[in-house]
Amino acid sequence: MKKLSDTDQRVLNEFIGSITGNTQACIGYPANTDFDFSELEALMKYPLNNVGDPMIKSAYVFSSLPMEREVVAFFAGLFRAETENTWGYVTNGGSEGNLYGLYLARELYPKAMVYYSDATHYSVHKNIHLLGMPSIAVRTQPSGEIDYDDLNHTIRMNRHLPVVILANIGTTMTEAVDDLDKINHILKDNAITRKYIHCDGALAGSFAPFMSPKPSFDFMDGADSIAVSGHKFFGSPIPCGVVLVRKSNRDRIARGVSYIDSIDTTITGSRNGHSPVFLWYTIKRLGIGGLQERYQQCLALANYALEKLTAIGIPAWKNSRAITVVLPEPATAIKLKWQLATENGFSHIICMPGITKDQIDAFTDDLKASRS
């Protein structure tokens, strides 16, 4: 193959250099940089495509379907799902997982009203619009958790309609977790029997099972589907995620496709076959124990960051089990340098795997200098 020209090679080298440099100051977005997939480099030569249903052998041989099935089974165990009535696949990210959950909900209850908090990720409103579903945004508490009184009042006003709940397991800005026990209590009080609960666990879903006490969010707690991101807590060079649903609900949309000798059950036809390998590799290397340890390290770093910020007079705060620390919006130069996500006068840092105490120290030093 022909080599790049000197000019193009320089552009590529500068791009790689800029990415390397920017990684050192990325503490405001949930990007995990603590991974090494060099052992999988040989797979970059092959067009891995997990076309069709992951649970069925495809006619296309360049796939990682067996590994994808293992990944789905791992998350099914993590989320206490019924083995015989659980189905899922590796997605392009949490947004696709949310779309899939809402899609199944619409097929079950075409006239349902969707309820979600105003702290919900922006992609949810887009997905609801794409699916043509009526919806109502519910107020949130100061922590970012949904306001259960407002949810109860709103459902009561529309109790003649089926209910679809979009619960957050780690909101974008404050990492708040909506409580399925409280939500189910509201549904029961309002005699709602036609219901569907989808949990957006893009940020915290992967480590919520390791929290103490564990939040109410999984299948045994009443979830009908759960979506998580794979490139956040787990880590991947390619954005990805996992969605799990009840198989009985998925069967409503499945249809056979002779071209691929499989059935069409996913949002996209062709799916990235490399991402399941990355997730499989992390699961096999770390296991439950390693993932629990990873969460505890992130939590300890978040507590450390909170102490450092408080010590220099910053009124920072965090939810008790979160690895996200919220602070008043700092100067623009600080936001740009440290790539801080900002909304409504507040910014945050997320102590993801790969973030170090040295980075937190440097960040607080910059904040202190900017204030003085």
User: Mapped to the 3 state alphabet, what secondary structure does the chain carry?
Assistant: CCCCCHHHHHHHHHHHHHHHHHHCCCCECCCCCCCCCHHHHHHHHCCCECCCCCCCCCCCCCCCHHHHHHHHHHHHHHCCCCHHHEEEEEECCHHHHHHHHHHHHHHHCCCCEEEEECCCCHHHHHHHHHHCCCEEEECECCCCCECHHHHHHHHHHCCCCCEEEEEEECCCCCCCECCHHHHHHHHHHCCCCCEEEEEECCCCCCCHHHCCCCCCCCHHHCCCEEEEECHHHHHCCCCCEEEEEEHHHHCCCCEEECCCCEEECCCCCCCECHHHHHHHHHHHHHHHHHHHHHHHHHHHHHHHHHHHHHHCCCCCECCCCCCEEEEECCCHHHHHHHCEEEECCEEEEECCCCCCHHHHHHHHHHHHHHHC
Instruction: Indicate the residue among 283, 314, 330 that finishes a domain.
Output: 283
pLDDT given at position 255: 60
CATH number at residue 351: 3.90.1150.10
pLDDT given at position 372: 74
Q: Are residues 102 and 220 in the same domain?
A: yes
Distance CA(170)–CA(320), nearest Å, equals 12
Tokens of 365: 């030093």
pLDDT tier, 234 (very low <50, low <70, confident <90, very high otherwise): very high
Q: Are residues 140 and 162 in the same domain?
A: yes
pLDDT > 50? residue 258: no
Q: Are residues 143 and 184 in the same domain?
A: yes
Q: Are residues 165 and 271 in the same domain?
A: yes
Structural domain including 22 reads 6-35+288-371
pLDDT > 60? residue 203: yes
Q: Are residues 148 and 175 in the same domain?
A: yes
**Residue 1: inside a domain:** no
The proportion of the chain whose per-residue pLDDT surpasses 70, expressed as a percent, equals 98
Q: Are residues 204 and 127 in the same domain?
A: yes
pLDDT given at position 259: 40
pLDDT > 80? residue 34: yes
Asked whether 202 and 121 are in contact (CB, 8 A), the reply is yes
pLDDT tier, 262 (very low <50, low <70, confident <90, very high otherwise): low
Tokens of 158: 């529309």
71: CB partners within 8 A, 6+ apart: 90, 242, 276, 279, 280, 283
pLDDT in tens, 70-115: 999 999 999 999 989 999 999 999 999 999 999 999 999 999 999 9
Q: Rounded mean pLDDT of 282-297?
A: 97
Distance CA(140)–CA(154), nearest Å, equals 13
Asked whether 327 and 274 are in contact (CB, 8 A), the reply is no
Kindly report the number of other CB atoms within 10 A of residue 87's CB atom. Answer: 22
Q: Are residues 94 and 108 in the same domain?
A: yes
Residue that wins the pLDDT comparison between 263 and 15: 15
Tokens of 228: 């998580």
User: How many CA atoms does the CB half-sphere of 323 hold within 13 Å?
Assistant: 32
pLDDT in tens, 310-320: 999 999 999 99
Distance CA(243)–CA(9), nearest Å, equals 39
pLDDT > 60? residue 176: yes
**Residue 278: inside a domain:** yes
CATH number at residue 262: 3.40.640.10
Output the average pLDDT for the chain: 93
Q: Rounded mean pLDDT of 11-25?
A: 85
Q: Rounded mean pLDDT of 143-152?
A: 98
Phi, psi of 247 (to 5 degrees): -60, -35
pLDDT > 50? residue 206: yes
**Residue 210: inside a domain:** yes
Q: Rounded mean pLDDT of 254-283?
A: 80
Strand 255-257 versus strand 86-91 pairing type: unpaired
Distance CA(89)–CA(228), nearest Å, equals 11
Residue that wins the pLDDT comparison between 362 and 20: 362
Instruction: Indicate the residue among 216, 248, 283 that finishes a domain.
Output: 283
pLDDT > 80? residue 38: yes
Asked whether 225 and 198 are in contact (CB, 8 A), the reply is yes
* pTM (two decimals): 0.94
Q: Rounded mean pLDDT of 274-290?
A: 97
Q: Are residues 297 and 273 in the same domain?
A: no
Q: Are residues 157 and 261 in the same domain?
A: yes
pLDDT > 50? residue 257: no
pLDDT given at position 253: 72
Q: Are residues 275 and 223 in the same domain?
A: yes
Q: Are residues 124 and 234 in the same domain?
A: yes
Q: Are residues 90 and 239 in the same domain?
A: yes
Instruction: Indicate the residue among 236, 255, 283 that finishes a domain.
Output: 283
Number of domains forming the structure of the chain: 2
Distance CA(100)–CA(112), nearest Å, equals 16
Cα dihedral angle (346, 117, 189, 249), rounded to 10 degrees? -140
Q: Rounded mean pLDDT of 275-295?
A: 97
pLDDT given at position 260: 45
